[in-house]
Structure formats: C-alpha cells, structure tokens
Structure 1
Amino acid sequence: MKIGFDNQKYLEMQSQHIRDRIAQFDNKLYLEFGGKLFDDYHASRVLPGFQPDSKLQMLLQLKDQAEIVIVISAEDIENNKVRDDYGITYDMDVLRLIDEFQAVGLYVGSVCLTKYAGQASAELFRKKLAELGIKSYRHYKIVGYPSDIAHIVSDEGYGKNEYIETERPLVVITAPGPGSGKMATCLSQLYHEYKRGVKAGYAKFETFPIWNLPLKHPVNLAYEAATADLNDVNMIDPFHLEAYGETTVNYNRDIEIFPVVATMFELIAGSSPYKSPTDMGVNMAGNCIIDDQVCRDASAQEIIRRYYRCLCDRKRYGQSKDDKNKLELLLRQAGVSMEDRLVAKKALAREEETGHPAMAIELADGTIVTGKTGDLLGASAAAILNALKVLAGIPHEVQLVSKEAIEPIQRLKIQYLGSHNPRLHTDEILIALSTTAAQDEKAKLAIEQLSKLKNCQAHSTVLLSSVDEQLLKKIGVQLTCSPKYEEEDRKYHRR
C-alpha cells in the first residue's frame, strides 16, 4: 500500500496541540470527541498510513492528564437504538467502551445520560452502572433548545443538569454514536465550572472534514459520501473567512450552530474565545499528509465503494440509507466514475470470458488476480486461493487443496447442515487450506500470506453471502460487488 499520511507525525503534533489548548484555559478543557476512537477504518482508507487506532494512541500520550466521560441519550436507551457496525444497543456499547478504555489504561470517570426524563429503561441502566461501580449523571431536556439561549444558559436550563465531577485537566466527551448530546454536555459543564469560579474551555475534535484542505478535495468529498445518510454537507466556514480572511472548511451543522454556541460562551464566560467553528477544532490531520495524490486516489476509490454499497443495498432491500443521487453528485465532483475501479473492470471481463460469476483482487504491487465460480469453489474462495498462490510464488496449476479434501465438506453442508449450495465459501476453503497445511509445505506457505491481503482492492460480479463479506472484511480486503444475484430468478440469496 502506498503511504500518503505520516502517522507518527500526527500522533506527536495532535497530542501537543491538545496540550496547548488545555493551557489556554484554566487548566480544564472539555474536548468533544467525534468519530470512532478504536477502529476508524474510514480514515485509514482515505488517508493511507493513518492507523485505525491513531486517535486512541494519541489519547494514550495524554492519559495522565485525561479522563473520559461517556455520553448516552436516555431516549436512545428507551428506543433500543442499535449500532450498525456492531449490532448491539447503545447502552451495551457504553459498557463495551468502558471495558475497551480501561483495558488500555485510560480512566473512565463517569457516564452522562442526556435528554433524561425519567425513562424506565434509563433508570434500569443507571442501576446497572451503579452495581458496576460506575458513577452516572443526569442531564435533562431543556425547553427551547437550542434557540432560547437566555433560558438555556440559566439556572432553569443548564443549571438544572447534574454537575459531572471530574478530576483531570482534559475531559474527553465521547459517545456510542451521533446525536447523543456531546456538545450540550460540554457547554453544560462550562456553565457549572464558571459558576464555581473555574474558567474551563471547550474544543472539538473531528477528523473530517479536514479544515485546511480545499472544499472539493477528494478526502473531504469522501467524508460527505460516508455521511450521506446524515445529510452532512461540507461548507466554507463564513465566520472564519470574515474574521481572518482565510478560507477553511467545516460542515453545515457546526456552522449553523456556531452563532448559538458563541452566544452561550458570552453568557457563560463574558466573551467567546472563538471567532469561528474552525477555531473550536483541534484537528491536525491535514498537516500530516505527505503524498496528496495517494490520498486523492484512495478517497476517490472510497467514494466509488460507497456508491457500489448503495446500489447493493437497493438491490437487496429495495432501499438504502444513503442518498444515491448525492453519491452520484460526489462522484462527478471528484471527477471519477465506476469505470475508475480497475478490479471491477477485470472481474466483469473475467465473467464475460467464462460465463460464470467472478472476483478480482488487486495485490499491493498492482498485480490483479481473478477467480471464477466452479463446481468446488465460489468465485471469492477461488480468487483468495489464487491470490495466496501468487503471493507465495506457487504456480497456478498446483492444487493446494485436493478434491478429496473438499468433497467431505460439501457432503457435510448438503446432507447434514441443510445448505443448498455445495460450493465452498471463503471461510470454508481457508479452513480446508489450514488443515492441509499441517502436512503440506506449499499449503502452509500459502496460508502464511493471508495478512498480505489487508487493504487490497477486490470486486465480485455478484452479491456475496454475508459469510463471504464478513470474512473478507476481517482479512481487511476492500470489497465492492455488482448489484446482482448469481441467480436472478431467486428472491433471496442462499448460502
């Protein structure tokens, strides 16, 4: 993988910038932390070289100064809101996050329940937290939020919220997902701190959009593609332009809410320390791009992948949470089309040549390997096997897993597990290859190449089963699929 981002420089620059921001205030900074801390795979895809846990590693450099407050909306608890990526409810994700933070040595001070109105499920969750020895606080819905500023910044507004007791100079406010109330929690805490004579500060940490890249830079367009379901739009920050004569990029929600936030600052602290939403941010990612073209190319591929996913969702479910028209607009703005996905062109050509579904995988050196559906293997399993052969320097004609080893697995699937498809899926061929590797040196050499498929591009000419998709995701392959079933006359895709 070509590197376009200096991760070590980012860790050092970002942590120092946050230290500097803490020092600007009364040694107390509430940092609203957006995006994913542990597994920011979007950032690692569009900024090649950015590690998925970079933000976590950056926080670890500040761990002696930092404590974490996890925010969750009581309404989300009541509605059993689920994280799409993990398939767990937000309240369960809070517990997962606590475990994850504590496992790496970060201090979790408490949990704050926002939009609290005595919901029964929220009360049960508070009791569960208490049993686990975790402090929790309640922040209430404020009538007129966010427009009635005078009421919000008063004893009847923020003043009614419970003050979150914190111990350290950097308080990181994070949440299971968007809409949890992170900013409101930060501002509520500022109100209470100033009432106590502490001139605390607030800052916002969002990786995207990157403020010092052009508005239509592919990295920023890829962020819009990633949030097509939220209707986020990148915009020139008019407040920053007016204050400094400098063109910077922010997104619509922060720009729209900034006048409200600035007025709240004035009521809380007497004046606002910031002249623009860009001022509030502390993101240094744009300063750590070392190869702009690599990041442009990676971001263009991300937009194409998002578009393919939208088409596949519409084929599978009749709808997509992402806006197809918006994604098409972003493709045009980035100056790319589906024709710019080389692995898709190669896979479709292979399908045309053989008359069977196919998959293509582009290896790190640019070599493209294909596989097609046959009697023994599905296209994805065949492509993975062929890719491992190339990486191991094993001739294509060498049979790594014998027909005799595959047939018992097929019988198990059909006769005992009720499957309609005798061909081996990706997970099944890898298990068969691992078993063979116990006695065969070539199979052992091939399985040792598996980690080299991480970040490789791949395309399937048909929709894959969830088993194949999940396995390829675990390996780290960046997959797209054509929006069609292998057997178009079937309504449901069978395993």
Structure 2
Amino acid sequence: MRVGFDNEKYLKMQSAHIMERIEKFGDKLYLEFGGKLFDDFHASRVLPGFEPDSKLRMLMKLSDRAEIVIVINAADIEKNKIRGDLGITYDEDVQRLMQEFESRGLYVGSVVLTHYAGQIRAAEFKERLEKKNVKVYLHYTIEGYPSNIPLIVSDDGFGRNEYIETTRPLVVVTAPGPGSGKMATCLSQLYHDNKRGIKAGYAKYETFPIWNLPLKHPVNLAYEAATADLNDVNMIDPFHLEAYGETTVNYNRDIEIFPVLNAIFEGIYGENPYKSPTDMGVNMAGNCIIDDEACKEASYMEIIRRYYKAAGDVARGKGSENEVYKIELLMKQARITTEDRKVTVAANERAEKLGVPAAAIEFADGKIITSKTTSLLGASAALLLNALKYLGGVDHDTHLISPAAIEPIQELKTRYLGGTNPRLHTDEVLIALAISATTDPNARKALEQIPALTGCQVHTSVMLSDVDMRTFKKLGVDLTSEPILKGKSK
C-alpha cells in the first residue's frame, strides 16, 4: 500500500511549530489537544504513513517542557459515559491515559473535573485520585456560557474555578472525549494567570480538518464522515479570509464560537492575539503529505467504511438514519459508491453466487481471497484460516485444524453451553489453530502470519457477532459488513 505521509518530517515540523508558539506568548502556552493523543487510527488510515502514536511521539520530543492536564466532565462520570472505541467509562479512561503518559516519561500534572456540581460519583472519583496523590481541581458551570461574556470574564465566572497549579511552559490539555471542557479550562487558566501577572497564551491542536487542504478534499470529507454523529461540518474560515485574503478550512463549531472567544480574549487581555480560528491552530499535517493521490484513495475507503458502520448501527437499532444520510451525501460529493471498495464487491458476489454468507480479504499486495459459511465454520472464521494459509505459503486444501478437533468444540457449544450456532467464531478458530500449531508445522507457519493481517481490508456479506468484530479489531483489520442481520447466535 502506497505511503502518502512523511511521518518523520511531521514529528520534526510539528514539535518545532509548537515551540515557536510557546515563544510567541512568553511564559506559558495552554495547548488544547483535540482528537486522540495515541491510537489515532483514523489519521493513520486516511494519511497512509502516519503512525497511530505520532502525536504522542511528537509530545515526547517536548517532554522536558510539557506537562499534561486531563479534563473530564463530572456529568459524564455521573452517567457512566462510555468511550465507544474502547468500551470503558470516561473515568476509567482518565486513569488509563495517566498510566500511558507516565509510562512514556510524560508528566501528568493534574486532573480537572468540569461542570462540577457535587455529583456523588464525581466526588468519589476525586477522592480515589487524591488517595493516589493526584492533584484534582474543580471547575464549575457558568450560567449563560459561552455567551454571557461579562459574567464569564469575572470573579463569579472563571474566577470561581480553582486555579490549576502548573510548573512547565507547555500545558497540554486533553480529555477522554468531546464535550469534556478542554477549551473552557484553557480560557479559565488564561483569566487566572492574567490576574497573577503571568503572560500565558492559548493554541488548539487538532489534526482534522486539515486547514491547508481544499474544503472538499477527500481527507477532509473523511473527517466529516468520521464525525457525522456530531454534526460537524467543514467550512471555509470566513475570519481568516477577511483578515488575510487566504482560503483555509476549519469546522463549524470553532467558527461559530470564535466571536465569543474573541470577546473573552478581549475581556482578559484587552485584545485578541488571533484574527481567526485557523490562527489558533498549530497543525502541520497538511505540509507532510508526500503523495496526495495515495491519501485521496485511502480517504475514499475510509468514507465507505464509515458508511457501513453507520448503516450497521441503524440495522442493530442503535444508530441514527441522519448519520447514514449525511455520509451518503459525502459519498456523492466524493463521487464514490460502495462498489469502489474491491473487497466489498468480491464478498457480495461470492455470497450471491453461492446463496450463503461469504467474506473476502484484501492483502497489502492487492490479492483478494474469499470464503463461505460451512457446517463447521462461519465465513469470517474460514476467511481467517484461508488468509493465514495464503500468507504462510500453505496449500489452500491443507487442513490446519482437523475436522475431528472442531466437532468436540461444536458439541461443547451446543450440548453443554446451550448455544444454537455450532459453527466456530473467529476467536475460537484461532484458539484451535494455536493448539494445532503445537504438533503441526503448517499450523505453526500459519499462526506466525497473524501480525501480517494488520491493515488488511475485510468485508462480510452479513453483519458479524460482537465477538467476531472484536477479534478483527484486535487483529488490526479494517472490517466492513453489509447491514444485514443474520439470526442471532450464541
């Protein structure tokens, strides 16, 4: 697969640009970090060559000057809000983030509970952190935020919030997810620092949309598809166009809030150092694209994947049809259809021809192989075995797992565990393969190919069980499925 992004150039350019922004303000820079600090798989998919932990590695270049503040909305703690991609609550993710940062030598200075109103679970979470010697600060809801500027920029607004004690010139403000209050935390600190005579500044670091790519560039369209549930819309930054005569791209929420930010900055400093939302950003990703066509093609595939995810959520009764409609519109703008995903066509054609569920996988070299549902294996489990045979150079007709070994597992599932589907799931077939590998060289050879599945494209003609989806995710496979429910299986 073609590389379209120079990751090393990005690391050097991004860290240098942040250093320049720190120097611009003097004493301290609060850097609002949007998106994922690590495991940024969306960026790695649409910018082939971008490493999922690039932003974290960039921060590590500044580790001696940076400290991290993690922000969480107390209301999200109270309602046990779940981070969808990890399946853990936001408060659990705060602790995970702390461990991840500290294990890489980054200093986590404190945690901030925003929108705090004495919520019981939030108070308990605060107590748990403080027992671990973690500094926890409380920020409160400001009535009329963000429009009531006189109240916000006063001792009864930002002034009520606890002042976050920081010791380093770069303060990275991050959170488990959107709506946590990162920007308000930064602005509150500017207010308090200004009263203390500290010259501090604010900047925003988000990878998408990429400000110096065209509005309808596929990379930016893919970002809209990824945030279709949030109703984010990419827009030309009118403030930047007016100030500089230069066309740049931002997204609606930043553009809509900018007049308010402008008033807040003026309330704190007497003037705003930024003339546009684009000015606030420090993202250099657009300058590190080395193969635009490769990034366009990767983005087209991402939009199609997002369409299938949204359509699958609707089929399961937990998604929004408006999200599907929005992504369909983006596909029309990009002039693509699901037929442009080769692996999708291969799986659907096989299923239609045989009249049973089928699956297909595309490898990095462009090779596509397929599978079908049998009495022993589901299509996705069979696909994994076929794929590992191909990667390991094992003949297709070779049995990696003896049918005699599969039958007892089926009996266990149906006779003893009360299941109705005797076919092996992907996790079960991998366990069976691992057992076979202890005595069979071909099975061992196939098992050793598992890392090569990362980045492969897979499509199934029906939706998979949660177990199968989780297995493919752990394998690093980009999975899509037709939004067709096949009878529930245990």
TM-score of the superposed pair, with normalisation by structure 1: 0.97
Aligned counterpart, 2:462 = 462
Relative distance call for 1:238 and 1:114 in structure 2 (3 A) is same
Q: Which runs of 5+ in 2 are unaligned?
A: none
Aligned counterpart, 1:494 = 489
Provide the rounded CA distance (Å) in 2 between the counterparts of 1:87 and 1:401: 32
**1:209-248 to 2 correspondences below 5 Å:** 209-248=209-248
Relative distance call for 1:26 and 1:318 in structure 2 (3 A) is closer
**1:166-185 to 2 correspondences below 5 Å:** 166-185=166-185
Q: CA RMSD in A?
A: 1.3
**1:412-491 to 2 correspondences below 5 Å:** 412-486=412-486, 490=487
Secondary structure of the residue aligned to 2:445 is: helix
Secondary structure of the residue aligned to 2:139 is: strand
Provide the rounded CA distance (Å) in 1 between the counterparts of 2:277 and 2:151: 23
Aligned counterpart, 2:348 = 348
Provide the rounded CA distance (Å) in 1 between the counterparts of 2:426 and 2:116: 46
Indicate whether 1:131 and 2:131 are aligned: yes
Amino acid at match of 2:330: L
Q: How many residues align?
A: 490
Provide the rounded CA distance (Å) in 1 between the counterparts of 2:431 and 2:124: 43
Check whether the contact 1:229–1:321 (CA below 8 A) recurs between aligned residues: no
Secondary structure of the residue aligned to 1:303 is: helix
Secondary structure of the residue aligned to 1:229 is: helix
Aligned counterpart, 2:204 = 204
Relative distance call for 1:297 and 1:434 in structure 2 (3 A) is same
Provide the rounded CA distance (Å) in 2 between the counterparts of 1:334 and 1:202: 35
Q: Could you list the per-position Cα deviations for residues 190-215 of structure 1 after superposition, in whole angstroms to 9, with x for gaps in the alignment?
A: 01111111110100000100000100
Aligned counterpart, 1:312 = 312
Check whether the contact 2:314–2:321 (CA below 8 A) recurs between aligned residues: no
Secondary structure of the residue aligned to 1:116 is: coil
Aligned counterpart, 1:376 = 376
Provide the rounded CA distance (Å) in 2 between the counterparts of 1:321 and 1:452: 35
Provide the rounded CA distance (Å) in 2 between the counterparts of 1:439 and 1:236: 62
Q: Could you list the per-position Cα deviations for residues 56-114 of structure 1 after superposition, in whole angstroms to 9, with x for gaps in the alignment?
A: 11111111111011111122222222211222222222122111111111111111111
Q: CA deviation at 1:271?
A: 1.5
Q: Could you list the per-position Cα deviations for residues 113-168 of structure 1 after superposition, in whole angstroms to 9, with x for gaps in the alignment?
A: 11122222222222112111111111111122111112211122111111100000
After the TM superposition, which of the residue ranges 162-171 and 266-275 deviates more from structure 2?
Answer: 266-275
Amino acid at match of 1:166: T
Check whether the contact 1:400–1:442 (CA below 8 A) recurs between aligned residues: yes
Check whether the contact 2:425–2:468 (CA below 8 A) recurs between aligned residues: yes
Question: Structure 1 residue runs of 4+, over 6 Å off?
Answer: none
After the TM superposition, which of the residue ranges 219-228 and 392-401 deviates more from structure 2?
Answer: 392-401
Identical columns (%):
66
Provide the rounded CA distance (Å) in 2 between the counterparts of 1:112 and 1:429: 45
Q: CA deviation at 1:321?
A: 7.5
Q: Could you list the per-position Cα deviations for residues 359-411 of structure 1 after superposition, in whole angstroms to 9, with x for gaps in the alignment?
A: 00001111101000011111011111111111122221122211122122112
Amino acid at match of 2:20: D
Check whether the contact 1:213–1:286 (CA below 8 A) recurs between aligned residues: yes
**1:24-39 to 2 correspondences below 5 Å:** 24-39=24-39
Secondary structure of the residue aligned to 2:109 is: strand
Provide the rounded CA distance (Å) in 1 between the counterparts of 2:435 and 2:124: 48
Relative distance call for 1:160 and 1:485 in structure 2 (3 A) is closer
Check whether the contact 2:161–2:188 (CA below 8 A) recurs between aligned residues: yes
Check whether the contact 2:239–2:276 (CA below 8 A) recurs between aligned residues: yes
Secondary structure of the residue aligned to 1:203 is: strand
Check whether the contact 1:388–1:449 (CA below 8 A) recurs between aligned residues: yes
